[in-house]
């Protein structure tokens, strides 16, 4: 990424040198230029996220970007060839000539502007990291959630930059105006913190008449983002006008300013993601960013000049302090409040880690059916027999399993069931390492299982783990994070990943993939991708829900019924399967009866479907299928009826 982003960073200073005169039109022209650039970025996000990635694929989307880069460069060179030749002649004849700025600010003020824009970068990107985490509550974990935040972010910045270019001439005190904007930006972060507390979880649908419009994601999202990003867009041409000096080239001044801001952005994202959120949480992080914005604004305000009286500046500062203290005391944690607005029982555990926010809810610690694991506000799983079968079924289908890999720890149920097979060694991989800490909330012996000498656990991405380790397994089980369209989940549903699993299986290995209850079109595409790698694939239905198991063989041989019968007389396996009595009760000898589709039947069922791949991550981009083929997308596939 370094090479293309290096050139991207160079474009704005170079363009500014080419088309911006250092006269009275400096701020107006720069505002237009930055606004157009940001508007282009907004359309780039929209087109790629909402149209091209889900239709023509990742590679063709990259080619499309390359095409527009080449087109822009070619048109620019051809259209400006004569103009550049004329400018070269003028530069030779008048090497020292330059159009001076209307005013040159003193070095102290210019240095303050440079420092200010660096801190603004820190605040803006730290805030974006917090937003991406919190907006998953109302917008969900789909790629469209992040894209929507980015579109509003960029759109607000573009409009703000245009507004500055249009109305800058009416500002009598640019530096003090910058200070007031920063104070207002800091205070509005508190408004956003309050509004996040009004957020309903994305999967809850209620009539607007029951809740105010503030609960609507359509209203909340732009209401939280737009005013702040508008201010950020307004600030760039404003601070550029203060910093750029007639004694240096325009491109040099803007380049330094832009670099300082980018450095602030990098540091802000790193600090927020790896320090602030894990140690302070999103609530205190937003309060900290609010305080930082207000303090920065107050410094600029008091050092900006004497157009605004000191008494007014003091009143603004005092009012800001009162508001921040009140917000600290009165505004609750938005994540917990949002979850509590929809009844999930008691919250037994809640931790905001660098990777995700983990929450354990339940009505009764002794009731297995009332416990749920939430990641970023989305329910991942609950205690059910299907997760136990995910371990027992492939282990009993294999003639002699010795090594097993569990991809996705979750509540730890699958691993716990696998350990009951006394001759099997288990590796388990979980992307969010903190999930290993919460196993005891669901199983009293979770720590004991993790400490078992036959178990090794890794905090890593399942796909990266397989890429970095060449160990081969007899059985691999995969339980991707729901919902099926979550950002990143497609990486465990793609044909490319199934090929990688194929390479990490022994000659008689078995791959077992769990597919949760999902739309017909989505499931068929995953089935198609799976069988393309594992021709000998059998489909088993879940006993108590509409989910299903894809069981792929490296070399198929008829399963030994004797192994299932033997497991029925194994006290450890029987105790595990029958841990929760009632409708969930099932014996190992009944598991073969869950088989629903043979390889030939499966092939006939998925004829004509598309394959999900890294290049075509269809299940991550379901928007157009959802709109134009709602019957297939919204209808849950019931494999038991086939």
Taking the C-alpha atoms of residue 196 and residue 187, their distance in angstroms, rounded to an integer, is 15
**Do 400 and 261 belong to one domain?**
no
CB atoms near residue 597 (< 10 Å): 21
State the pLDDT at residue 347: 84
Is the same domain home to 359 and 321?
A: no
Decide if 122 is inside a domain.
yes
pLDDT digits (tens, 9 = 90+) for 594-625: 999 999 999 999 999 999 999 999 999 998 88
Q: Is residue 165 part of a domain?
A: yes
Whether residue 433 is found in the same domain as residue 551: yes
pLDDT > 80? residue 65: yes
Evaluate whether residue 139 is within a structural domain. Answer: yes
Paired sense of beta strands 548-553 and 595-597, if any: unpaired
Residue 66 shares a structural domain with residue 199: yes
What's the pLDDT at 93? 54
What is the CATH classification number for the domain harbouring 430? 3.40.50.150
Q: Does 102 score more than 70 pLDDT?
A: no
Residue 136, SS3?
helix
pLDDT at residue number 220: 85
Phi, psi angle pair for 227, to nearest 5°: -60, -35
Weakest-pLDDT range from 92-96, 605-609, 633-637? 92-96
- 144 with 263, same domain: the answer is yes
pLDDT reading at 135 higher than 70: yes
Confirm whether 5 is domain-assigned.
no
44 pLDDT more than 90: yes
CA distance 215 to 212: 6
- The pLDDT of residue 185: 95
Look at 173 and 270; give whichever has higher pLDDT: 270
Last residue of a domain, one of 345, 375, 405: 375
What pTM value is reported for the model?
Answer: 0.89
Give the separation between CA 37 and CA 591, rounded to whole angstroms: 59
Q: How many CB atoms lie within 10 A of CB 473?
A: 24
Lowest mean pLDDT segment, chosen from 298-307, 314-323, 398-407 = 298-307
Are the CB atoms for 531 and 599 separated by under 8 Å?
yes
pLDDT at 275: 96
Peptide bond into 483 cis (omega under 30): yes
Shared-domain flag, residues 402 and 318: no
Angle at 474 between CA 470 and CA 477, to 5 degrees: 90
Decide: 587 and 571 in contact? Cβ < 8 Å.
no
User: Does residue 167 carry a pLDDT above 90?
Assistant: no
Same domain (yes/no): 345, 431: no
Does residue 510 form part of some domain? yes
Q: How confident is the model at residue 87 (pLDDT cuts 50, 70, 90)?
A: low
Give the full edge-to-edge strand order of the sheet including 455-459: 455-459, 425-430, 403-407, 473-478, 505-515, 548-553, 537-541, 595-597
CA dihedral 64, 66, 69, 70 (to 10 degrees): -110
pLDDT score for 158: 95
Whether 342 maps to a domain, the answer reads yes
Q: Is the pLDDT of residue 217 over 80?
A: no
Domain housing 310 = 12-331
pLDDT more than 70, % of the chain: 90
| Mean pLDDT, residues 318-335 | 87
105 torsion bin: left (phi>0), alpha (psi -120 to 50), beta (else): beta
Average pLDDT score over the chain = 88
Q: Tell whether 6 is covered by a domain.
A: no
Domain membership of residue 1 (yes or no) is no
Do both 59 and 190 map to the same domain? yes
Model confidence at 101, pLDDT cuts 50, 70, 90, reads: very low
User: Which residues have a Cβ under 8 Å from the Cβ of 83 and sit 6 or more positions away?
Assistant: none
Q: Could you tell me the pLDDT band of residue 455, with boundaries at 50, 70 and 90?
A: very high
Q: What's the pLDDT tens digit per position in 328-345?
A: 888 888 878 777 765 556
Tokens of 473: 């397994």
Q: What is the DSSP code (8-state) at residue 636?
A: B
> What is the radius of gyration, based on Cα positions, of the chain?
29
Name the more confident of 219 and 468: 468
Determine the pLDDT at residue 314: 85
Instruction: Look at residues 548, 529, 530 and name the one whose alpha carbon lies nearest to residue 539.
Output: 548
Most confident of 279-283, 303-307, 362-366, 501-505: 501-505
Whether the per-residue pLDDT at 206 is higher than 60: the answer is: no
User: Looking at residue 384, what is its pLDDT?
Assistant: 87
* Number of domains observed in the structure of the chain: 3
Please check whether residues 490 and 564 belong to one and the same domain. yes
pLDDT in tens, 468-516: 999 999 999 999 998 899 989 999 999 999 999 999 999 999 999 999 9
Residues 416 and 362 in one domain: no
- The Cα-based distances of 97 to 20, 93, 107, 246, 320 in angstroms read 15, 9, 22, 11, 47
pLDDT in tens, 374-429: 898 888 888 889 999 999 999 999 999 999 999 999 999 999 999 999 999 999 99
75 with 135, same domain: the answer is yes
Cα 433-434-436 angle, rounded to 5 deg: 80
**pLDDT for 639 beyond 90:** no
| 7 pLDDT higher than 50 | yes
On whether both 266 and 345 belong to a single domain, the answer is: no
pLDDT of residue 582: 60
Cα(7)–Cα(419) distance, rounded to whole angstroms? 53
Asked if pLDDT for residue 282 goes beyond 80, the answer is yes
């Amino acid at each position: 990424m370094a090479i293309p982003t290096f050139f991207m960073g160079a474009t704005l200073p170079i363009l500014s040198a080419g088309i911006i005169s250092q006269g009275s039109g400096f701020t107006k022209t720069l505002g237009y230029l930055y606004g157009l650039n940001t508007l282009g970025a907004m359309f780039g996000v929209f087109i790629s996220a909402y149209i091209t990635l889900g239709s023509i694929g990742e590679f063709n989307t990259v080619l499309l970007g390359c095409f527009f880069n080449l087109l822009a460069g070619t048109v620019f060179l051809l259209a400006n060839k004569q103009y550049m030749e004329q400018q070269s002649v003028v530069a030779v004849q008048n090497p020292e000539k330059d159009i001076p700025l209307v005013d040159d600010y003193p070095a102290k003020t210019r240095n303050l502007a440079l420092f200010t824009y660096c801190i603004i970068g820190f605040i803006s990107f730290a805030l974006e990291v917090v937003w991406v985490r919190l907006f998953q509550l109302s917008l969900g974990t789909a790629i469209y959630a992040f894209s929507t935040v980015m579109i509003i972010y960029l759109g607000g910045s573009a409009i703000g930059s245009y507004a500055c270019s249009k109305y800058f001439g009416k500002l009598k005190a640019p530096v003090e105006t910058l200070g007031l904007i920063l104070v207002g930006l800091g205070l509005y972060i508190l408004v956003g913190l309050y509004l996040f507390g009004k957020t309903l979880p994305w999967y809850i649908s209620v009539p607007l008449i029951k809740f105010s419009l503030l609960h609507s994601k359509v209203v909340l999202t732009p209401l939280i983002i737009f005013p702040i990003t508008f201010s950020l867009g307004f600030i760039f041409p404003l601070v550029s006008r203060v910093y750029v000096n007639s004694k240096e080239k325009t491109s040099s001044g803007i380049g330094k300013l832009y670099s300082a801001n980018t450095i602030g952005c990098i540091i802000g994202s790193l600090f927020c993601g790896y320090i602030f959120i894990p140690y302070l949480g999103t609530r205190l992080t937003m309060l900290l960013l609010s305080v930082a914005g207000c303090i920065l604004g107050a410094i600029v305000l008091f050092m900006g000049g004497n157009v605004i009286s000191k008494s007014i500046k003091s009143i603004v500062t005092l009012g800001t302090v009162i508001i921040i203290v009140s917000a600290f005391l009165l505004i609750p944690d938005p994540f917990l409040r949002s979850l509590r607005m929809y009844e999930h029982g008691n919250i037994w555990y809640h931790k905001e880690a660098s990777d995700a926010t983990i929450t354990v809810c339940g009505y009764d610690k002794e009731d297995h059916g009332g416990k749920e694991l939430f990641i970023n506000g989305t329910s991942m799983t609950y205690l059910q027999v299907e997760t136990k079968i995910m371990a027992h079924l492939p282990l009993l289908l294999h003639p002699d399993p010795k090594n097993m890999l569990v991809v996705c720890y979750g509540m730890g149920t699958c691993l716990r069931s696998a350990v009951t097979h006394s001759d099997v060694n288990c590796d388990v991989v979980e992307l969010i390492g903190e999930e290993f800490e919460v196993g005891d909330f669901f199983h009293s012996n979770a720590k004991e299982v993790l400490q078992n000498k036959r178990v090794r656990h890794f905090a890593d991405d399942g796909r990266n783990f397989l890429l970095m380790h060449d160990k081969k397994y007899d059985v691999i089980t995969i339980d991707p994070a729901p919902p099926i369209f979550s950002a990143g989940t497609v990486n465990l549903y793609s044909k490319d990943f199934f090929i990688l699993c194929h390479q990490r299986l022994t000659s008689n290995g078995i791959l077992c993939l769990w597919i949760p209850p999902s739309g017909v079109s989505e499931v068929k595409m995953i089935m198609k991708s799976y069988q393309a790698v594992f021709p000998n694939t059998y489909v088993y239905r879940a006993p108590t829900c509409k989910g299903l198991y894809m069981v792929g063989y490296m070399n198929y041989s008829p399963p030994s019924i004797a192994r299932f019968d033997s497991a029925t007389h194994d006290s450890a396996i029987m105790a595990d399967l029958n841990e929760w009595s009632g409708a969930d009760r099932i014996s190992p000898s009944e598991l073969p009866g869950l088989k629903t589709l043979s390889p030939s039947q499966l092939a006939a069922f998925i004829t004509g479907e598309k394959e999900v791949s890294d290049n075509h991550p269809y299940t991550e981009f379901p928007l157009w299928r959802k709109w134009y083929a709602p019957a297939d997308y919204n209808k849950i596939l019931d494999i038991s009826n086939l």
